[in-house]
A and B are shown apart, each in its own frame.
Chain A
Amino acid sequence: MTEAIEEAISTRVGLSLSLAPLGDVRGNLAATLGESLGGVLAMFYPPTLCKKANIVVTELVQNVIENVTDSTSEMRLDVKIDSDALQVEVTNKATAEQFEAVKDRVEKLSASDDPKRLFAETLRARRMQRLRGGLGLLRLVSENRFRLSARYAGERLTMQAIFSLRGA
């Protein structure tokens, strides 16, 4: 398990990407962005951190792609790494109802004192019902130790995921 990144991090990287309209997306955007970012970060950071970056971008962007409400809208991806943390934000147009649903899930995750058990129970329940999706955020917390938050302004939902490099 990689609770903290043991190697000293001195390189600072910030990357931003905006993409519109989302209706133009062809192919596996989440995978392409995740792999591309992982490739860039591998020049500077240990593999465990690059994998986390790959996973968080893949899961958050996949959530956006699977829940597009307006094909003319924009998605924005912001990634920042310094000696303290890996921070990823993904922003897209969403309804207030979508935000409430995401906020509920994030709050439930944050309140859980055993995210791994919550993940296992949710996974089994959703598999029984063959429900798609709904596991990405859980995985980010349970498996990868990200702290999640969600905010909403001007019909835009921003998901933020932070992994502390100081093991906190």
Chain B
Amino acid sequence: MNVLTYGEIMDGGASVFHCVAREDEGTFTLTLSGVVRIDNPYRHLANLLQDLREMLPKRPISRSVLDFSELEFCNSNGFYVIMDIVEIVYTSVPGPVLVRRLQEDDWQQETLPILLNLDEESIAARTTFEDVREL
């Protein structure tokens, strides 16, 4: 598994959010974990977004996994950056996208599909969900 890039949010001196982009034999995996609670996540994730924009179109990727199952919380200030991240993935790499999300989490069940822009037919056609139970 090749780590392509990595983003982190620090809040109050602690690391509270990680986003790791990996590639393995044509599969791109983006894992988001922790909590997005800060006022302006772009301050912390601008480099990650830039890396994804530059790297993904050049990689031989045929399928993607967006794993939100370890993302415990996202405040409304975090919605745009989540939208930016997934938009880069959908526009930069071809193929199906598997979205792993928590089964009993209102924001992942209700709001995440909106952030993914599933109203767009081409995006919906590429997307499947895997609902997982929180440990």
Chain A contact residues, CB within 8 Å of chain B: 1-2, 27-28, 30-31, 34, 47-48, 51-52, 54-55, 58-59, 62, 116, 119-120, 123, 127, 130, 132-133, 135-136, 139, 142-144
11 A-B contacts (beta carbon < 8 Å): A2-B106, A31-B37, A48-B106, A54-B73, A55-B75, A62-B76, A116-B114, A120-B119, A127-B79, A132-B77, A135-B79
Please give, as numbers and ranges, the residues of chain B lying within 8 Å of A27 by CB-CB distance.
Answer: 12
Given contacts A28-B11, A28-B38, A47-B104, contact A142 B110 (CB under 8 A): yes
Please give, as numbers and ranges, the residues of chain A lying within 8 Å of B105 by CB-CB distance.
Answer: 48, 51
Please give, as numbers and ranges, the residues of chain A lying within 8 Å of B11 by CB-CB distance.
Answer: 28, 31
Chain B, residue nearest A3 (CB): B106
Tell me, rounded to whole Å, the shortest Cβ–Cβ distance linking B91 to chain A.
15
Is the Cβ of B104 less than 8 Å from the Cβ of A59? no
Which of B37, B80, B119 is within 8 Å of A127, CB to CB?
B80
Give chain B interface residues in 7-42, CB to chain A under 8 Å: 11-12, 35, 37-39
Chain B contact residues, CB within 8 Å of chain A: 11-12, 35, 37-39, 73, 75-77, 79-80, 83, 104-107, 109-111, 114-115, 119, 134
A-B contact count (CB 8 A): 73
Chain B, residue nearest A130 (CB): B80
Chain A contact surface mostly: helix
Is the Cβ of B114 less than 8 Å from the Cβ of A136? no
Bound CA span A23–B104, Å: 37
Given contacts A47-B134, A120-B119, contact A136 B76 (CB under 8 A): yes
Please give, as numbers and ranges, the residues of chain A lying within 8 Å of B77 by CB-CB distance.
Answer: 62, 132-133
Besides A123-B115, A143-B106, A143-B107, 4 more A-B contacts (Cβ < 8 Å) are: A28-B38, A34-B37, A47-B104, A127-B79
Is the Cβ of B110 less than 8 Å from the Cβ of A143? yes
Bound CA span A163–B115, Å: 24
Please give, as numbers and ranges, the residues of chain A lying within 8 Å of B109 by CB-CB distance.
Answer: 1
Bound CA span A54–B36, Å: 13
Please give, as numbers and ranges, the residues of chain B lying within 8 Å of A31 by CB-CB distance.
Answer: 11, 35, 37-38, 75
Bound CA span A130–B11, Å: 23
Tell me, rounded to whole Å, the shortest Cβ–Cβ distance linking A68 to chain B.
14
Bound CA span A52–B104, Å: 11
Is the Cβ of B114 less than 8 Å from the Cβ of A119? yes
Given contacts A28-B12, A127-B83, contact A135 B76 (CB under 8 A): yes
